């Protein structure tokens, strides 16, 4: 039958799987060796643990806060703020990009404003946003949205207008409407760029959330970092950084799974 896979192709696929495993093992090994060297340097007094902490101290702090229940409360708040800000920023950015693609006049009018907004340091606008919106969760979520929405608009709009003009002309000759052109050609073409934007927005949203929590929050990972710096508990600060890294990696992996599912045709 035609579905039979050749031995060469099977060997090629096995080679790709082995390569992925080797890469993963190497990544984990580098992380583990780094922790071991860090702990040895702390135990041998080669570094000042008051300033750098150590893996064992960070783990002890993690277990203590986990037993008290405070850790999951702070992590839950930050994850909620990030997911809402990340989702809303991405959706609003895509919708606005669609509007700019739909109306060339609107795109030309908005272009200089998008350039200015993209060049501004969004974290510097965080105090103003929080004063306007409020000092609760809303202000932090809107801060996360403002950090990610502009880059989403620019990336997606550039992806929309980069579609092969010949394909669009071909559809127009068959009488396709603008909606049909967008649905059948433009949007499918932009899915890989949308996935890439999602990956970028994960980090940007965390920047907005942490900056917002630095300024006004009384709970969350950002608050833990601020509190740790105020009382000079660097093990608490390092633990918060590790938790942020783990959550960010988990969110990145989720987006990668979505990418593998929806972009196989592109690969």
pLDDT block averages, 10 residues each, the chain of length 267: 66 84 91 91 84 85 84 87 87 91 87 83 77 78 85 88 82 81 84 84 84 80 84 84 88 82 59
3-state secondary structure string, 149-177? Answer: HHHHHHHHHHHHHCCCHHHHHHHHHCCCC
Cα 251 to Cα 207: distance, rounded to the nearest angstrom? 14
Indicate the burial class of 185 (C-beta count within 10 angstroms; 0-12, 13-18, 19 or more).
middle
Cα 140 to Cα 78: distance, rounded to the nearest angstrom? 10
Q: Write out the E strands in the chain.
A: none
Model pLDDT, residue 258: 79
- 266 phi, psi to nearest 5 deg: -75, -35
Model pLDDT, residue 118: 79
Smallest CA-to-CA distance from 222 within 235, 210, 230 is with 210
Tokens of 103: 């109306």
Indicate the burial class of 15 (C-beta count within 10 angstroms; 0-12, 13-18, 19 or more).
exposed
Model pLDDT, residue 5: 65
182 DSSP assignment: I
263 DSSP assignment: S
Cα 254 to Cα 236: distance, rounded to the nearest angstrom? 27
Model pLDDT, residue 36: 92
DSSP notation for 2-37:
TTPPPHHHHHHHHHHHHHHHHHHHHHHHHHHHHHHH
Q: Are 130 and 212 in contact (CB under 8 A)?
A: yes
């Amino acid at each position: 039958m035609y579905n039979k896979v050749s031995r060469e192709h099977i060997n090629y696929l096995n080679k790709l799987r082995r390569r992925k495993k080797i890469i993963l093992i190497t990544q984990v090994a580098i992380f583990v060796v780094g922790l071991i060297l860090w702990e040895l340097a702390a135990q041998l007094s080669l570094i000042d643990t008051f300033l750098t902490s150590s893996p064992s101290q960070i783990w002890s702090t993690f277990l203590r806060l986990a037993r008290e229940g405070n850790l999951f409360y702070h992590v839950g708040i930050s994850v909620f703020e990030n997911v809402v800000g990340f989702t809303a920023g991405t959706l609003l950015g895509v919708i606005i990009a669609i509007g700019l693609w739909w109306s060339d006049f609107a795109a030309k009018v908005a272009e200089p404003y998008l350039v200015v907004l993209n060049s501004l340091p969004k974290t510097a606008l965080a105090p103003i946003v929080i004063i306007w919106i409020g000092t609760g969760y809303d202000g932090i979520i809107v801060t996360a949205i403002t950090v990610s929405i502009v880059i989403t608009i620019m990336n997606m709009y550039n992806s929309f207008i980069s579609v092969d003009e010949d394909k669009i002309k071909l559809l127009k000759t068959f009488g396709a409407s603008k909606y049909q052109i967008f649905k059948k050609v433009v949007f499918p073409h932009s899915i890989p760029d949308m996935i890439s934007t999602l990956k970028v927005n994960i980090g940007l949203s965390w920047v907005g959330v942490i900056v917002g929590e630095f300024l006004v929050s009384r709970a969350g990972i950002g608050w833990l970092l601020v509190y740790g710096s105020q009382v000079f508990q660097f093990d608490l600060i390092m633990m918060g950084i590790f938790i942020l890294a783990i959550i960010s990696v988990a969110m990145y992996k989720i987006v990668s799974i979505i990418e593998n599912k929806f972009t196989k045709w592109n690969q």
